[in-house]
Amino acid sequence: MPSAGAPNYQPDSPGSERGGTTRYLPDQGFLPPLGLGRGLPPLRKVHSRLMVRTYGWPTKYALSPDELLCVVADAVKGRKNSYLRDVLHRDVSEGNVLVVPVMVNGKRVFKGCLIDYDNAIKFSSHQTLADDPASGTRPFMSGELLRKRRYFVQPDETLSAPRHDAIHDMESFLWVLVYICLSRDGPAHRRRELWDNSEDAEPLRDNWRALFEGEFGYLAKRTLIDNRGEFKLCVLNFLPDYYKPLETVLAKLRDILETAYRSREFDHVHEDFIKAMEAARLKMEPIADPKHIELQKREIQGRQNDDIRTGDISPIPKGVNVGTAISSTTASRLQEPESPTPKRTKPTSDMLEVPLTR
């Protein structure tokens, strides 16, 4: 035990780089200064660590557009199964949809899994209070919940704030797909235009900030849900070549949401999403670009290095996608940016408000 008055070194927040590096900063909060703690017994504490095997990989490491659709469709199926059991997830985000290995007919394949039910509620019995803060990961939350106002209402209409419903989780799935399709330009490869200062990529960065970083992201989301043309101009036109094959299905998912929001009928939205993605998968072509093939091989090797064996994973009942996981940290991916940290919806001072750019 360090002597009285000596600085403790305790972990601060994890560093921004992937790989689990923790920064240590001096802290004086646990031991009193010399002279003030005399005569007091030392505090006895227990430090515990839980070690678990890696379960899956974040969706941004999808091997192909086809695998991305497969993983998200499986997560929607898991979301539907939960909803049929009266459970509302309320935190669908890029970090909560995982790629996981499963055995199908004796062959190892990759499927999708929706995790992290920390914010889930029993929908039928949950009592929503007027001052309840919305739950979720802000970049992926529905604009209705962020604004606390329904889409498609007249300015003079006085309606109560929308209650978190199935449609809001489904809208989050759309923003997960848009997030990945705008920020990746190859298998598990980030799109560097989002992080450099090139003038040509400025419209892309503006739209990215408006949707996923700005305090007023609900305005951008409302615009895109309200107007198919704006969705094409501000999202689909900015897709990299790698994700161009998903242009039609992204537009279809947006259309499904608009129809459901206008009618306020949400019963079939899960099935409509699943059908749209499965139909799109039937038209997917294998990756042909040599650069993308090489990136795909590297990601496959990274998965093998993670040593995830399907035998270590509890059997998943047919049609049910549940589980828990920690992220992988292979060396080939250490420089990837962190996905947004789940948080309550109170905006921070450094959030930006940027208008959508066509």
In a domain, 23, yes or no: no
Name the nearest CA neighbour of 245 among 283, 273, 276: 283
Q: Which H helix or E strand runs over 103? A: strand 97-104
In a domain, 83, yes or no: yes
In a domain, 158, yes or no: yes
pLDDT computed for residue 341 by the predictor:
43
In a domain, 354, yes or no: no
pLDDT, tens digit (0-9, with 9 covering 90-100), for 52-71: 777 899 999 999 999 999 99
In a domain, 347, yes or no: no
pLDDT, tens digit (0-9, with 9 covering 90-100), for 123-180: 877 665 555 667 889 999 999 999 888 998 876 666 778 888 999 999 999 999 999 9
Burial class (CB in 10 A: 0-12, 13-18, 19+), 61: buried
The number of domains in the chain is 1
In a domain, 11, yes or no: no
Domain limits for position 293: 59-333
Q: Which H helix or E strand runs over 112? A: strand 107-114
In a domain, 53, yes or no: no
Q: Which H helix or E strand runs over 144? A: helix 143-147
Name the nearest CA neighbour of 143 among 263, 60, 254, 270: 254
pLDDT computed for residue 186 by the predictor:
96
pLDDT per residue as tens, the chain (358 positions):
444 444 443 444 333 333 333 333 444 444 555 555 566 777 788 888 888 777 899 999 999 999 999 999 999 999 999 999 999 999 999 999 999 998 889 888 899 999 999 989 888 776 655 556 678 899 999 999 998 889 988 766 667 788 889 999 999 999 999 999 999 999 999 999 888 888 889 999 999 999 999 888 899 999 999 999 999 999 999 999 999 999 999 999 999 999 999 999 998 999 999 999 999 999 999 999 999 999 999 999 998 888 655 444 444 445 544 333 222 333 334 344 444 444 433 333 232 334 566 6
CA pair distance 34, 37, nearest whole angstrom: 7
Q: Are 303 and 95 in contact, with CB atoms under 8 Å apart?
A: no
pLDDT computed for residue 32 by the predictor:
54
- Collapse the DSSP code of 76 into the 3-class scheme (helix H, G, I; strand E, B; otherwise coil) and give the result: helix
CA pair distance 39, 253, nearest whole angstrom: 67
pLDDT computed for residue 26 by the predictor:
41
Q: Residue 110 is part of a domain; what is its CATH number? A: 1.10.510.10
Q: Are 10 and 22 in contact, with CB atoms under 8 Å apart?
A: no
In a domain, 118, yes or no: yes
Helical pair 217-226 and 247-263, crossing angle rounded to 10 deg:
90
Residue type at position 1: M
